[in-house]
Amino acid sequence: PQKLGTVSLPKIIPLCDFRAVKKSVYRRNSRTLRRLSRNYDWEVDEHGGLRPIINPAKVERATKECANDSYILSAIMHNYNRHKIPGGQVEVKVEVWVQEITTISDITSDFQLDIYISEMWLDPALDYSALNPCKYNLSLNSVLLEKLWTPNSCFINSKTADIHKSPFPNIFLLIYANGSVWTNYRLKLQGPCEMDLTRFPFDNVTCSLTFESFNYNTDEVQMSWTPSGVSKMRDKMELADYELVDIKNVRNVEPYPAGYWHELTMKFHFKRRAGWYILQAYLPTYLTICISWISFALGSKAIPARTMLGVNSLLAMTFQFGNIIRNLPRVSYVKAIDVWMLSCMTFVFCSLLELAWVGYLSREDESPSTPPPLQVHSASSTLHRRNPANEEESALISLRDNDYGYIPPGFGLNGNIASAMRSFGARCSCDPHQSYQTEVDDVHPPEHISQTFSSRHHQRERLAKRIDTLSAILFPSLFSLFNIAYWSHYLRSDG
């Protein structure tokens, strides 16, 4: 016999009623029969019926014809059960192509990316290799996918997962002649990230997505990565704040109450770019710290200018710190940027304390150096005044009744206060009509008091200068030591 499609016919067909031949062939494949019927010539027999006459040219041409896609789909979907697991246990191969990583959010601790994910498995019920197909793979859309068995896989830890629809659902389906099924989805995902901001902004971030069958455990579906696993569609993927360091894919077996499930996890390792924070946080604080040290060179006489310089430096640093932490999550532990900003603010605050100390010493220096008033005791309760004899006497009386009670050294019209006092005393004792007597006790020029205040003034001035000189050396030295400790700790390679 010679095979024609899936139906075997003898080379010579005896004369008979064609309806009998048609009936026997139809039981096998009615569609093939319609193709075969076109390969015969017909003649009327002696009974008035039709009988086929084989045309060898037509038979040879028919053997070279192939089944088109519509015929194959009709054949394989006939009596197909989408609820039946193919072969009892299916091995599903998974492969991911990363198209783009769009954003990483520090506030919500997640990331967004676009991927193509492929699944491949073997379904013997979809084998159409015996149908003499024209093509050994059928490229189909998502409509037919809903009629096939699928492993019902999903990303179990994703926050959102959407199939791109631009303008139709981006789902690809390919069925090979041996029954292998290949599905491909273009997805937009949002997944969680593990963030430890202790070393911020010199930290690393790990984001992960886990893919597994939602309905079938390992007894029914075995899931595994292809040799390529997860790959990038572009060699270099960079974000504004992060740099993609590595992508790893792992396979784990996780226990559940209903059995064990295969979990396919892909991990994205990112390194934060610290350039923006160095330009916006670290360099400005260096300048602010150096500006606060300028006050040490202004001296103790420029207290208002030094105060304005220190307060403005502290306010600028506080505003800058608030602008940075506004874009960070409210964590309860101390970050590297917190250590830096708070330490720099402490240096500025300590410079203000040093200024307050110097200002206190300067306030003592600038207080009046005049001694307390000396008391002038009078023998009579009432002093009957008379008109002064001359200008020197008038000056002495006004000095005696002044608010301070003492006579400044060198006072007098002729510069000799002693002679003026003697002249005034002689005139008072020689007048017989004088009705009062004064007694001035302990009237001494306070030269020793002036010398004491002058000595204290010089001591405080020298102390203020020594404090400024010491601060101008101590503050930069301590800040340099802090920088060495800070950068050596947070820039370690194993961090």
The CB density around residue 175, as the number of other CB atoms within 10 Å, is: 26
Three-class secondary structure assignment of 73-129: HHHHCCCCCCCCCCCCCEEEEEEEEEEEEEEEECCCCEEEEEEEEEEEEECHHHCCH
Q: Is the pLDDT of residue 270 over 60?
A: yes
Q: Is the pLDDT of residue 223 over 90?
A: yes
Closest C-alpha among 435, 469, 475 to residue 289: 475
The CB density around residue 357, as the number of other CB atoms within 10 Å, is: 15
Q: What average pLDDT does range 336-343 have in this prediction?
A: 94
Strands annotated E in 257-293? 259-272
Dihedral sign of CA atoms 419, 421, 424, 427 in order: negative
Residue with tokens 């050994």: 136
Q: What average pLDDT does range 16-35 have in this prediction?
A: 44
Lowest mean pLDDT, pick from 2-11, 178-187, 416-425, 451-460: 2-11
Closest C-alpha among 489, 475, 201 to residue 344: 475
User: What is the model's pLDDT at position 360?
Assistant: 83
What's phi and psi for 269, nearest 5 deg?
-105, 125
Q: What average pLDDT does range 275-300 have in this prediction?
A: 90
- Tell me how far apart the alpha carbons of residues 360 and 353 are, in angstroms, rounded to a whole number: 11
- 200 or 360: whose pLDDT is higher? 200
Consecutive H or E run containing 277: helix 275-277
Q: Is the pLDDT of residue 276 over 80?
A: yes
Spell out a b/e string for 255-266, using b for 16 or more CB atoms within 10 Å of the CB, else e. Answer: eeeeeebbbbbb
Q: What is the tens place of the pLDDT at every residue in 347-399?
A: 999 999 998 888 888 775 444 444 555 444 444 444 444 455 555 555 545 54
User: What is the model's pLDDT at position 36?
Assistant: 47
- pLDDT category at 310 given cuts 50, 70, 90 is confident
Q: What is the tens place of the pLDDT at every residue in 34-87?
A: 554 555 555 656 655 556 665 665 555 555 578 888 899 999 998 899 999 998
User: What is the model's pLDDT at position 450?
Assistant: 52
Rg (CA), the chain: 53
Separation of CA 343 from chain center = 22
- Put simply, whether the predicted model's pTM sits higher than 0.75 gets the answer no
User: What is the model's pLDDT at position 235?
Assistant: 86
Beta-carbon contacts of residue 491 (< 8 Å; ≥ 6 apart): 202
User: What is the model's pLDDT at position 11?
Assistant: 38
User: What is the model's pLDDT at position 13?
Assistant: 38
Q: What is the tens place of the pLDDT at every residue in 107-146?
A: 999 999 999 999 999 999 999 998 888 888 999 988 899 9
- Tell me how far apart the alpha carbons of residues 495 and 484 are, in angstroms, rounded to a whole number: 17
Residue with tokens 């008391």: 375
Q: Is the pLDDT of residue 489 over 90?
A: yes
User: What is the model's pLDDT at position 72?
Assistant: 92
- Tell me how far apart the alpha carbons of residues 100 and 238 are, in angstroms, rounded to a whole number: 9
β-sheet bridge partners, residue 223? 92
Q: What is the tens place of the pLDDT at every residue in 91-102?
A: 999 999 999 999
Q: Check: CB of residue 303 under 8 Å from CB of residue 359.
A: yes
Separation of CA 273 from chain center = 10
Helical H runs in 366-383? none
Tokens of 493: 């390679």
User: What is the model's pLDDT at position 126?
Assistant: 94
Tokens of 380: 């009579």
| CA dist list (Å): 356 to 289, 303, 311, 467, 473 | 18, 9, 12, 11, 18
Q: Is the pLDDT of residue 406 over 80?
A: no
User: What is the model's pLDDT at position 160?
Assistant: 96
Q: What average pLDDT does range 142-164 have in this prediction?
A: 94
Closest C-alpha among 486, 110, 109, 488 to residue 334: 486
Tokens of 37: 């019927």
Closest C-alpha among 201, 177, 192 to residue 124: 177
- 258 or 448: whose pLDDT is higher? 258
Q: Check: CB of residue 378 under 8 Å from CB of residue 319.
A: no
- Tell me how far apart the alpha carbons of residues 411 and 397 are, in angstroms, rounded to a whole number: 13
Consecutive H or E run containing 360: helix 336-365
- pLDDT category at 162 given cuts 50, 70, 90 is very high
- Tell me how far apart the alpha carbons of residues 405 and 408 are, in angstroms, rounded to a whole number: 10
- Tell me how far apart the alpha carbons of residues 2 and 414 are, in angstroms, rounded to a whole number: 156
Domains (range + CATH), the chain: 2-65 (no CATH), 75-273 (2.70.170.10), 276-367+463-490 (1.20.58.390), 391-445 (no CATH)
What is the pairing mode between strands 90-105 and 221-232? Answer: parallel
Q: Is the pLDDT of residue 7 over 80?
A: no
Q: Is the pLDDT of residue 15 over 50?
A: no
Q: What average pLDDT does range 170-187 have in this prediction?
A: 95
Q: Check: CB of residue 56 under 8 Å from CB of residue 79.
A: no
Q: What is the mean pLDDT of the chain?
A: 78
User: What is the model's pLDDT at position 189?
Assistant: 97
Consecutive H or E run containing 458: helix 447-490
β-sheet bridge partners, residue 225? 94
Q: What average pLDDT does range 226-246 have in this prediction?
A: 92
